[in-house]
Structure 1
């Protein structure tokens, strides 16, 4: 049984991607990993227990010891430095927060990728429709020329030109179908659909909208994009690591208690051991932590620069594509359509040859292709703006 076409809307495609995307699963696993790190940071050090047992022998001396069983028991418990523990726990919490923001950024990127692939498939399908419409027109024109050649009204050269244009129209259809197959394959990968799924995207390119002022767009991006919050969480985690290294300079004491049973006596004692920071005062670790803070600060600045640069490119692309769409719809498209009709009329009355008609038809086909490309470029820029957080998803006027 052959698989049937599966109608696919953009919303359904995004849901499928969120459910099946390996990238999202990776980011979710990373969140779980860092949340487990919080539990690790919250745990206390385990105590140690020592048990010795042996036998005591008497030596041949004037005052020998009493022979018999010898037993020794001891327990040790490291005492954590409160400031080091707080810094360790706070750092783990910030790393988990960073992972959660990274997960949000991954979800945005996956959604944008699905949207790009979905609209590209719609674009390629529109190109197929235009190529087939052009093929129908060229076939009709070729039939008319053949009739006129057969009755002697036109020369054989006119039919040759029409057949050459017909071959080109067939090639354009096959090329458009190949581009559509490539776009569907990319969409299947984007939503992680099964290889045998036959996808049938349903939708249309969205109408234009008026963008908010540039200052508002920049403020919205810097306020809402997860990359900024992720970088800030990484800064906090790096600062916590620095505080932890500084706190680690404080010697960590270990309390102990022991009991020993000898054949002729018993005793117990308790005490504390404290390491002396004479040779290693953690200067290297502290300097490394300071460098990590500096690097995290630079990462935040870099994230902001990249976001603002991407915003500027997307907004500029949207404006230019929108202007191109308006120009094509209001001028070039109507002019090309009128030129085709005029060329056909002139050809019927014998005032023009087949070459003029074919040239006019090619110009119309080119203008229609340019219009589809401009509409897709505008839609692509809109998707980028939504990914950046400059616009809410599916923004409308």
Structure 2
């Protein structure tokens, strides 16, 4: 029994080093090859590589995001739209020749300048400026979307990474215990059935390890694509600072954030759309007033041998086309924008309620797992190891206790990820930076 306990005790030391909810910040120089093979990079003290934090991933994603670059181009394009909206009509140079004979030829040269009336130019500029503001808010909304996507991908990768580590530890334990059971069978101390059961359990654990590695590669690929990097170049995930920043949303902070709902990007966009539609309605109303064209020029009569001044004024008569159709369309679209604003207000309020409830539920689950579930699962695992050492528990019972601990830690990771994903969704809804933490005391993670 003592010989069997030696490898098991060594493995227990290994798993207790893997189990704490923290990520070491050193990887080996062959991390690329290990990542491509689906294995986590080996740690080495010779070549320290900083672990990847959520803040670093977010900064890289904001820097390399093609969506943000496209949105920035929209912002710059809207500047051109404002400039063009303020442009005045160009003058028109006209020339007219009467008679082709030199002796009786009359040549007229004149300059025609259209003059806009009714405030058309001011209405165009107002509508273009409102559209430019909308594009700026859309850019901010895309930044919030990128932050939310990175948060989700970061935690998906963190969960997959820790699942691989736990599956590796479980596989090593299963292999060592299976070997120990085989030796006990050879010594005639246990039935060969125990050896078969141990090998079946080991195969099941190996399958779980293969699945975990596959999910980890997929998660790394998604996170790397958001950051503009290859999945094989990513450092291990460091989410320990986020464990220590699990905070509850206190009522004061909730009221403060609720007051910011009026400035949510979606509501600002909807209000600006109402203003823009109103400006476009004003523009169509102004277009009902005809513009005049003033003409100045000179006329040279070869037959009379003198120049004559030409002065003209053109005024369209709005008899048939009074722009009534465009005015009606603009008014109805303005009504639609106002209805959309009311609907968006309801939608934002509902999203706020759902997100805050979801965050509080996830936070409560994290606290329960930290304070009750994880310590109990850890205690049960240690008791199972001790009982296995004394011959009171079988290998399968010990493995079952280990799996319970693994499942508890995986559940903790999922709850922690859900909490931070929800915080990112709140950030996206309010258009604020996710780093704006609520003023509440932090609660340390279970060690």
Give the TM-score, by structure 1 length: 0.89
The question of whether the paired residues in 1 share the 8 Å contact of 2:140 and 2:431 is answered with no
Counterpart in 2 of 1:258? 297
Q: CA deviation at 1:171?
A: 1.9
Which residue matches 2:177? 141
Moved more, 366-375 or 183-192: 366-375
Q: 1:190 to 1:368 in 2, by over 3 A?
A: same
1:102-113 alignment runs, 5 A limit: 102-113=138-149
1:198–1:153: structure 2 CA closer, same or farther, 3 Å change rule? same
Residue 365, structure 1, aligned to residue 411, structure 2:
no
CA contact (8 A) 1:6 1:198 kept: no
Residue 269 of structure 1 pairs with residue 310 of structure 2: yes
Structural mapping, 1:175-214, within 5 Å: 175-194=211-230, 197-204=233-240, 205-206=242-243, 207-213=245-251, 214=254
Change (3 A) 1:70 1:391: closer
The equivalent residue for 2:119 is 83
Once the two structures are TM-superposed, the CA of residue 177 in structure 1 deviates from its matched residue by 1.6
Q: Which residue of 222, 247, 263 corresponds with 2:262? A: 222
- Change in 2 beyond 3 A, CA 1:128/1:18: same
Distance (whole Å) between structure 1 residues aligned to residue 367 and residue 31 of structure 2 = 41
Structure 2 contact 296–311 (Cα < 8 Å) conserved: yes
- Segments of 5+ residues of structure 1 without an aligned counterpart are 58-65
> Could you tell me whether the CA contact under 8 Å between 2:174 and 2:201 is conserved in 1?
yes
Using the alignment, how far apart are the partners of 2:201 and 2:139 within structure 1? 52
- Which residue number corresponds to residue 81 of structure 2? 37
Aligned length: 388
Any conservation in 2 of the 1:347–1:357 contact (CA below 8 Å)? yes
Matched residues in 2 for 1:249 and 1:390: separation?
40
The residue that corresponds to 1:15 in the other structure is 59
Map Cα deviations across residues 124-181 of structure 1 (whole Å, 9 max, x no partner).
2111222222223323322332232222111111111111111122222222221111
The residue matched to 1:44 in structure 2 has which SS? coil
Aligned partners of 1:20 and 1:336: how far apart in 2?
42
Is 1:173 aligned with 2:214?
A: no
Partner of residue 393 from structure 1, selected from 426, 431, 434: 434
- Which of these two proteins has the greater Rg computed from alpha carbons? 1
Q: How far is 1:341 from its partner?
A: 3.5
Deviation at 1:13, TM superposition (A): 2.3
Q: Measure, in 2, the Cα distance between the counterparts of 1:299 and 1:172.
A: 49
Shift of 1:195: 6.8
Q: What are the ranges of 5 or more consecutive residues in structure 2 without an aligned counterpart?
A: 1-28, 33-48, 441-447
Q: Is 1:240 matched with 2:284?
A: no
Q: Is the 8 A contact 1:314 1:384 kept in 2?
A: yes
What displacement does 1:194 show? Answer: 4.9
The worse-fitting range, judged by mean Cα deviation, of 387-396 and 203-212 is 387-396
CA distance in 1, matches of 2:395, 2:434: 49
The offset of 1:190, in angstroms, is: 1.2
Q: What's the TM-score once normalised by structure 2's chain length?
A: 0.79
Please list the CA deviations of residues 103-135 of structure 1 after superposition, one character each: whole Å capped at 9, or x if unmatched: 111111112211221222122211122222222
Which digits, 9 at most, give the CA deviation of each residue in 1:12-48, with x for residues without a partner?
3222222221111111111111111111111110111
| Secondary structure of the structure 2 residue equivalent to 1:306 | helix
Distance 1:362 1:200, change over 3 A: closer
Query: Does the Cα contact within 8 Å between 1:221 and 1:390 map onto a contact in 2?
Result: no
1:300 partnered with 2:341: yes
Q: 1:337 to 1:141 in 2, by over 3 A?
A: farther
* Residues 112, 267 of structure 1: alpha-carbon distance in 2 compared, 3 angstrom cutoff: same
- Give 3-state SS (helix, strand or coil) of 1:8's partner: coil
Larger deviation, residues 349-358 vs 279-288: 349-358
